Amino acid sequence: MASGSWEEFFAVHLPPTDFEDNRSLLKEFCERHDQYGNKIVLVTSGGTTVPLEHNTVRFVDNFSAGTRGAASAEYFLEHGYAVIFMHRQKSLEPFTRNFTGQKLFDMLDLQDRGPNTTITVKQDSVFVLAPVLQRYQAAHAAGALLHVAFTSVSEYFWLLRAACELLARTGPRALLYLAAAVSDFYVPKDRVPTHKMQSASGPPVIQLHLVPKMLAPLVNLWVPEAYVVSFKLETDENLLIPKARAALEKYKHKMVVANMLQTRHQRVILVTPDANQEIVLSREEVHAGIDIEGVIVSDIVRAHGAHMGCGAPPSCARSPR
Ligand code: PMT
């Protein structure tokens, strides 16, 4: 099934109900950081859903938990960027990603003394929690991190376009880091039933259509001066580099981070027009809990610095956040 145009997609899919609120938050954030000449990165993270009913009970989803995006946002903050963290609702978030599941409760001690009950952090956990808490508080005190959330693929695109249009004013100081796992297939709005599909009606036949690729208008129209990094995920190694390179040639952006589903947290390849640069963590580094995102982000920050015309990126900002 041929893909419709991106204009048609926006014409058919209305903005989400909280769109104007999110747009105002984005506007305030971009204007505030732009006024100080700060670098701003838009990090997209997590997977998009494709609703199968308007009153959505069921939807098509994908595997992404947002590990890459949440970790990367932290490293961009360390490099002095203001970070727009555009993430799938309830996916991993910067800082709290380090304490998912029961991890946080396992770090706490309860002294049950009735009305004088206290909760303390276990001594051996203080050294784990304190540095993360410090970085979290510093980011929030500086107003350097904005969260905006999406669920469906159309919510994602509305937010993406709004953020890009606002970042256009930031010129080459804007960086786009498109790590979200965006659906390539969807059910057009007029083919989606209003109410929950009934099993009594028999097995549904669901035809998925192609979602238009938004990289084309994003690079050419919405945010033409930004440093744009897209991601390419494959499960067949033979396709990985050819498809990453084909994307670069087609959309003419700056870099594709190529990764395989099975090894994505130990190995990536940064594909630019001139080179393929492989980043691989050793087994020891993986066991020591080193994030590959720290290395990816450092390399991208360096490339972004060169794009802005100044070799040492963190000093590019004219004023502290
Ligand atoms: O969350 P984790 O478990 O840590 O996993 C991280 C990750 C594997 C999700 C991440 O590293 C990654 O590869 N993200 C991109 C996955 C993806 O959508 O790849 P793709 O080949 O389908 O799309 C390529 C690019 O096209 C993406 O940057 C996407 O933003 C863009 N795209 C996709 C669909 C669409 N309709 N329009 C687009 O512009």
Please write the tens of the pLDDT for every residue from 2-11. 568 999 999 9
- Contact present, 45 and 70 (Cβ < 8 Å): yes
What pLDDT score was predicted for residue 226? 98
Q: Beta partners for 110?
A: 119
Residue nearest to atom 30 of ligand 1 (CA): 178
Q: Calculate how far, in angstroms, residue 37's C-alpha sits from the geometric centre of ligand 1.
A: 29
Instruction: Examine residue 321 and state whether it is found in any structural domain, yes or no.
Output: no
CB proximity list for 7: less than 8 A, separation 6 or greater: none
CA 171 remoteness from chain centre: 20
**What is the CA(177)–ligand 1 centre distance, in A?**
10
Note whether residue 88 is domain-resident: yes
Helix (H) or strand (E) holding 71: helix 67-78
Q: Is residue 29 part of a domain?
A: yes
CA-based nearest residue to 183, from 150, 141, 161, 229: 150
Tens of pLDDT, residues 69-121: 999 999 999 999 999 999 999 999 999 999 999 999 999 999 999 999 999 99
The answer to whether residue 201 scores a pLDDT higher than 60 is yes
Instruction: Give the pLDDT confidence of 129-175 residue by residue, as tens digits.
Output: 999 999 999 999 999 999 999 999 999 999 999 999 999 999 999 99
Identity of the amino acid at 112: D
The answer as to whether 205 is a domain residue is yes
Question: What phi and psi, each to the nearest 5 degrees, are found at residue 197?
Answer: -65, 140
Beta bridge partners of 267: 280
Q: Are 214 and 6 in contact (CB under 8 A)?
A: yes
**What integer pLDDT is reported at residue 263 of this predicted model?**
97
Average pLDDT over residues 224-251: 98
Q: For residue 261, which atom of ligand 1 is closest to its CA?
A: 8
- For position 168, which CATH number holds? 3.40.50.10300
Closest CA to 66 of 44, 92, 43: 92
Residue 93 Cα to ligand 1 middle (Å): 17
Residue 320 pLDDT grade (very low, low, confident, very high; cuts 50, 70, 90): very low
Give the N- to C-terminal CA distance of the chain in Å, as an integer. Answer: 48
Q: How many domains does the chain have?
A: 1
- Assess if residue 112 is contained within a domain: yes
Looking at residue 310, what is its pLDDT?
A: 55
CA 105, distance to chain mean position in Å, is: 27
Q: Which ligand 1 atom is the nearest neighbour of the CA of 268?
A: 11
In a domain, 1, yes or no: no
Q: What is the pLDDT of residues 27-40, one digit of tens each?
A: 999 999 999 999 99
Which domain, by its residues, includes 65?
Answer: 6-316
Pocket of ligand 1, beta carbon within 6 A: 64-68, 178-182, 184, 211, 213-215, 230-233, 259, 264
Distance (Å) from CA 256 to ligand 1 centroid = 10
